[in-house]
Structure 1
Amino acid sequence: MEKERVCNAKRVLLEWVMSLQSLSNEIWFKPFKEGAWGTADVISHFISWDRFVIENRIHPLLKGESFPDIQVVADEVNKEASNYARSGISKEELLEEFSSVRKQLLSEIENIPDSAFRLPYPGNASITLFEYFTGLIQHDETHKQQIIEFLQENKVVE
């Protein structure tokens, strides 16, 4: 049940992101406000963190290994994601990459046994694996809402 809820939420965001294909390049790259990210940056951000979760959380979990002892500096990961979004990659290429990585994430989540979602999250026994993924879903939804509000402010959607 928990795994199904996680996968459904991740799938819904994938479908929603792919609906952004019709955005103009001007809106795609336009910052939400001065000095802030734009839609392209957020989508690249999703790609970076999905890859991180796949490589550094799900793969070790499936192998019964400890999580890698790495220092994650979120600001650096986010800056790299933003730089990548503005490196010359097209909207279509970035959306395709997002789709591919998110589908890989979904496939990897599907490989996690259902029972594992009720177990303590490795490295933080105060939450379950389901609660960890719920936090990731809330993160997705926060960024989705930012984009929706931006598109409404710019009269792209109602």
Structure 2
Amino acid sequence: MPDSKEILESFRCIIPWASRLGELDDSVWFKPIAEGKASTAEIISHLQNWDRYLITNVIPSVLGGDGIVFPDFDPFNSVAYDYAKSGIGRNQLLEEFCATRAELCDLLASIGDNALREPVTANGFELCPHTGTPYSLLYIIQEFIEHDQHHKVQIDKALL
């Protein structure tokens, strides 16, 4: 597994990219990225909602010696989509997302390498069913980096 500092820096790299989205016109910001898909606003809110969940639920649970429990995705994501449509301004949502991601990265950095690599369960599983890799906070963060990248590519493609 790569160095934890490199992984955390990679996780933080979405902040400058997201900040540039403040230049978008509202008609683009709220437009679905494709037929039947979320808008850029909804995706950023979705990413922020997951970051907040990691800060308030996942990390305390892991540090307390418990496993990770992820919520049912659809209702969880609906909360984020509703927030994006609640009237919050584009710049405010982007500022909230960037601040939350920075807070999460700082929190993870403060935990230390050993705790980040400590094996944990995720929804009762010790190993990722796709890779067979033992779960750890660091592994989960790598999965969230892939999640970020997936949405970043979607947004960038829609904006071309």
SS of 2:79's partner is helix
CA distance in 2, matches of 1:117, 1:110: 9
Shift of 1:80: 1.1
In structure 1, the residue matched to 2:149 is: 141
| Residue identity matched to 2:23 | S
In structure 1, the residue matched to 2:117 is: 118
Cα distance 1:121–1:52, how it changes in 2: closer, same or farther (>3 A)?
A: same
Shift of 1:71: 6.7
In structure 2, the residue matched to 1:155 is: none
Counterpart selection for 1:131 from 139, 148, 159 = 139
Q: Give the alignment of 1:1-158 within 5 angstroms.
A: 2-62=3-63, 64-67=64-67, 72-123=71-122, 124-126=125-127, 127-129=134-136, 130-152=138-160
CA distance in 1, matches of 2:67, 2:18: 29
CA distance in 1, matches of 2:6, 2:70: 30
CA distance in 2, matches of 1:2, 1:121: 19
Aligned-residue RMSD, C-alpha? 1.8
Shift of 1:3: 2.1
Shift of 1:26: 0.7
Q: Structure 2, unaligned stretches of length 5 or more? A: 128-133
Name the count of aligned residue pairs: 150
Identity %: 34
Cα distance 1:117–1:128, how it changes in 2: closer, same or farther (>3 A)?
A: farther
Higher fraction of strand = 1
SS of 1:49's partner is helix
| Residue identity matched to 1:78 | N
The 10-residue stretch of structure 1 (40-49 or 100-109) with the greater mean CA deviation from structure 2:
100-109
Q: CA deviation digits over 1:1-43, x for unaligned, max 9? A: 6321221112111111111111111111110123210100000
In structure 1, the residue matched to 2:130 is: none
* Displacement over 3 Å in runs of 4+: none
Please report the TM-score for the alignment, with normalisation by the length of structure 1: 0.86
Please report the TM-score for the alignment, with normalisation by the length of structure 2: 0.85
SS of 1:104's partner is helix
